[in-house]
Amino acid sequence: MIKHLLKMVWNRKRANILIIVEIFFSFLVLATVLITTVHYWQNYYRPLGYSIQGVWRIEMSLKSLLTSLKAGSDDSKQETEKARQLYLALQKLTEIEAFAGSSDAPYDPSVQTSSYSYRGSKLEIQTEYGCTAGFKDVLGLQLVAGRWFEPNDAALSWDPVVINQKMKEEVFGSEDPLGKNIAPEKAERERRVVGVISEYRKHGEFVSPYAFAFQRSGWSGMEGQLSGPPHYILVKVRPGTPASFEEKLMTQIQRVNKNWSFTLTPLSESRQNWLTFCLVPIVAGGIVAAFLLIMVGLGLVGVLWQNVTQRTREIGLRRSVGGTRGDIHRQVLGELVVIASVGLLLGVALAVQVPMLHLIDFISARVFSFGIVSSVGLIYVLTVLCGLYPSWMAARVEPAQALHYE
Amino acid sequence: MIKNYLKIAFKVLLRRKFFTFISLFGISFTLVVLMVVAALFDHVFAPFPPETKLDRTLNIYWAATSHKGEFHSLTIPGYALLDRYARGLPHVEKFAIHSIPTSAISYKDGAQISSYLKTTAGDFWDIFNFNFLEGGPYSIDDVTRGNFVAVINDATRNKFFGNESALGKAIIVDDQRFRVVGVVENVPIFRVTPFADIWVPITTSKTDNYRKEMLGIQMGTLLVRSRADFPAIKEEYRSRLSRVKLEERGEDDTVTGCPETLFETFSRFLGGSIQNSVLKPPSGRLWAVMLTLMILFMVLPTINLVNINISRIRERASEIGVRKAFGATSRTLVGQFVTENVVLTLLGGLVGIVLSPVVLQLLTGSGLIKYAHFQMNYRIFFTGLLIAFFFGVFSGVYPAWKMSRLHPVEALRGRSL
């Protein structure tokens, strides 16, 4: 049966080659869309490593932040004093459960990296390089080993670093990372790992887990180091705090220094914005792909329909020598499946190169195989659906009428 | 002759409505998608107000710092760096230093208004051609003297003054009082170089610190005499910077950078190491990637179109037979089929040209991008149409020619290819 179908397809190879090419490309489009969707979908349900419940981000205006100040100058002393007062003002507010300064915040599109090296290999790893001791409590990070930064870390002669589980696996494997120095080669101070947290996916739900490190910063005037305030202040308010607290908070901190400007954004809002930003290209790509597949489907129906009309006599002949309607049905759909298989075979052969050659590393092989298998299934369904009407038409051919032309 | 062809073409297209619909759907859909992508691209890169002289504008967006010769970080230049080393480059007609937009807070009846504020110095208002709705720009003199004057955009005027004129009125931004001298049309947020809500002289900054900053939050914009001078300017700026030490960071720190177009800046984010691309942005690679994506996207609709066309012609074997039997030459037959395909393509183009502005209008209206105003890019539209046309003709000519060479008797019997 299959051998016979293959022969039929081969005999009309010129007419079939275009359908094969079309199915090949349709498969690639569908597989790309499915793999991306499944990849994002899977990521969405992985643990984030932090909670943004009740967390507000206060951005300090860039204008004051980037004003470079020489340590010890009068300006610098003034700024340091103001920053200290800011700290005290925040501490006084009982509605605040925890607060911290940071250089970066969850759902911020920016990418900050820092250099490390371990056993001679250079590493460039995403890093939050200015978080103060309160950071862990604000975001509810979970320690797996070691400790988080402490206010008296400022007195150390080396820089403490906290890493996430993923970085521990990538850099240290099964070794114990605690106490290891990961400073880059020419660095003046050592960077020692003091703790490991379970997970930290700064860029939110859609990205795959990646290595991440934290470096501490003091809050000027309170924990030593750095003049001036941090870039962001992250504030976690107690549950049940009324919305009017926002105004109170802003007036309190504005009172400290008139020259700084503060913008408050709830992290839930930055999350919303960032996720929308990530979703728009996926949705747009999905819509375009859907339209492409509809077009291909309609085209297939057209081509098959024409094929059937053209082969009326052949079909009539078969019917007159005893072929049943079912036989004709099976023949038309069978040929179609064979054609589709050839196209799919080529497509799969190309698609499996991607995970095999590690061309795209951040998508796991399992997602790839799932995407490929389900695309194959869907393309078969699509082609068979497109073949149903033409095959029904073919089966309706009356032998007498068809042979009448001969 | 042509009239007859057209008549037949319309009749045939109407007879096989399903085929016609698929072809039209494919052509117009492909064109609409191309149009949306092109509009997005234009929205960022094409010259339109205020960036009308884009073809001879270079920007300095980045300063790459190195520590002991090793790449350290990609940061933003400060006023001092640009003022000392980017000013007076050869072949440059106009030069402006302006900050990246920073957020600024105002209050109106107790409610907070958040706007993007850009401080400017130099020939900013000459390089960019803003469309002024009221008043005009502030002068270089205003900048030197540190006058508290501001140009605001339409949206900001609405926030502060409703629909009234804003000229001469005061706005308080970050506790500073500015007099409005001009109102301009909203600049889309994607026009990253001139974008802001409020523009004020740099000299109104709260401190003078910016004057000493080598790294900071400024960008430099150069209006060059002609495009041909770009390489010389890049080279000169680079060689000037090679002598610079970043004193505040220590003796070993050096800085480099490159005046570039926005497109070149974008090409940096294509991947690869940033430090290599600082001096040589891989803009050629970005073009290649975009072109490949476009071709990949057009492959499916094209194959579909070819497939349908071939089917349509093959179906009409007996018609060809009759015509041949009555003495039609191969050329006339090919001419007829090609006319049909041309008509079909033009129809598809027509549908596309009607649908594209609708889709773009929807996108503009959705507010997805701040102050966005998408426009049709007819250049790309006609390129797309031309491509559809090409494949339409190509896919029509080959089978038509093959069919037209069939023996009339064979064709009359309806023999297939």
pLDDT of residue B128: 94
Print burial letters for A158-167: b (CB count within 10 Å at least 16), e (below 16).
Answer: ebbbbbbbbb
Which pTM does this prediction carry? 0.76
Tell me, what's the ipTM?
A: 0.71
Identify the band that residue B338 occupies on the pLDDT scale cut at 50, 70 and 90.
Answer: confident
Nearest Cα residue to B303 out of A9, A336, A378, A19: A19
pLDDT of the residue at B247:
63
pLDDT at A125: 87
Angle (deg, nearest 10), helices B2-15 and B17-45: 100
Interatomic CA distance for residues B20 and A404, integer angstroms: 30
Most confident segment among B9-18, B207-216, B349-358: B349-358
pLDDT of amino acid A64: 41
Paired tokens of B15 = 């007879």
- Higher-confidence position of A164 and B380: A164
Does residue B227 surpass a pLDDT of 80? yes
Going edge to edge, which strands form the sheet with B70-75?
A: B70-75, B63-67, B253-256
Helix axes A267-310, A325-351, angle to 10 degrees: 140
In Å, how far is B261's CA from the nearest CA of chain A? 22
Three-state DSSP state, A201: coil
Over residues B137-156, the mean pLDDT reads 93
Between these two residues, A336 and B272, which has the higher pLDDT value?
Answer: A336
Per-residue pLDDT reduced to its tens digit, B103-127: 788 888 777 788 889 999 999 999 9
Residues of chain A with pLDDT under 50: 62-72, 221, 223-227
In angstroms, what separates the C-alpha of A76 from chain B's closest C-alpha?
12
pLDDT of residue B32: 85
Q: Residues in chain A whose beta carbon is closer than 8 A to a beta carbon of chain B?
A: 14-15, 18-19, 21-22, 25-26, 29, 59, 61-63, 66-70, 75, 186, 258-259, 261-263, 280, 288, 291-292, 295-296, 298-299, 301-303, 305-307, 309-310, 405
Q: Do B102 and A61 lie within an 8 Å CB cutoff?
A: yes
**Per-residue model confidence (pLDDT) at position B251:** 56
Q: What is the token pair recorded at B245?
A: 């030490």
Q: Can you name the residues that pair with B113 across neighbouring β-strands?
A: B106
Instruction: Characterize A318-328 residue by residue with b for buried, 16 or more Cβ atoms within 10 angstroms of its Cβ, and e for exposed.
Output: bbeeebeeeeb
Tokens 């032309």 locate to A405
Instruction: Give contacts of B 303-342 with A, CB under 8 A.
Output: 303-304, 306-308, 310-312, 314-315
Among chain A residues, CA nearest to B25: A295
Of A131-135, A174-178, B270-274, B334-338, the poorest mean pLDDT is in B270-274
Predicted confidence (pLDDT) per residue in B156-177, tens digit: 999 999 888 999 999 998 888 9
Q: How many CB atoms lie within 10 A of CB B44?
A: 13
Identify all chain B residues contacting A75, using CB atoms and an 8 Å cutoff: 209
CA-nearest of A395, A381, A399, A401 to A332 is A395
What's the token pair of residue A24?
């090949």
How far apart are alpha carbons A337 and A377 in whole angstroms? 11
Closest CA to A288 of B300, B42, B140: B300
The dihedral sign for the CA sequence A65, A69, A72, A73? negative
From A67, A288, A291, residue closest to B209, measured CB to CB: A67
User: Which of helix, strand or coil describes residue A316?
Assistant: helix
The residue among B247 and B262 whose pLDDT is bigger is B262
